[in-house]
Amino acid sequence: IHPHLCLGQRCQSQDVDGLHTINEGMVAVGNMSGFVPCTPNGVMELIKRSPVQVAGSNAVVVGRSKIVGTPVSELLKWHHATVTVCHSKTKDIQEQIRRADIV
């Protein structure tokens, strides 16, 4: 069974993880009127409560998972941060992190 087939059968309005194709697409295009995944939404709330200004900042997201990394990078992008996504094949992650305002 392909995971996308199973996720597409979930009720979009109850998809708190944002894995339904419609919810993923809405976040990807900056439409926050649907379900924003709960963990990435919490990450953004923590950043907003910090003294760091998101707009214009350099943000590094470590990981590109569908449940946290990818949605966080999209949310940061739509809040006007310059986003770098690092993963297991990224060379010199420490240098990327060193230059970041938000990790």
Residue span of the structural domain in which 77 resides: 3-99
User: What confidence tier does 37 reach under pLDDT thresholds 50, 70, 90?
Assistant: confident
Decide if 22 contacts 12 (C-beta within 8 A): yes
**Tokens 């339904």 identify what position?**
20
CATH number of the domain enclosing 92? 3.40.50.720
pLDDT digits (tens, 9 = 90+) for 52-88: 999 999 999 999 988 899 999 999 999 999 999 999 9
* Model pLDDT, residue 91: 95
Residue 19 has pLDDT above 90, yes or no: no
Q: How many domains does the chain have?
A: 1
The predicted model scores a pTM of 0.81
Angle at 50 between CA 44 and CA 52, to 5 degrees: 90
For residues 73 and 83, the answer to whether their CB atoms sit within 8 Å is yes
* Res 15: pLDDT: 63
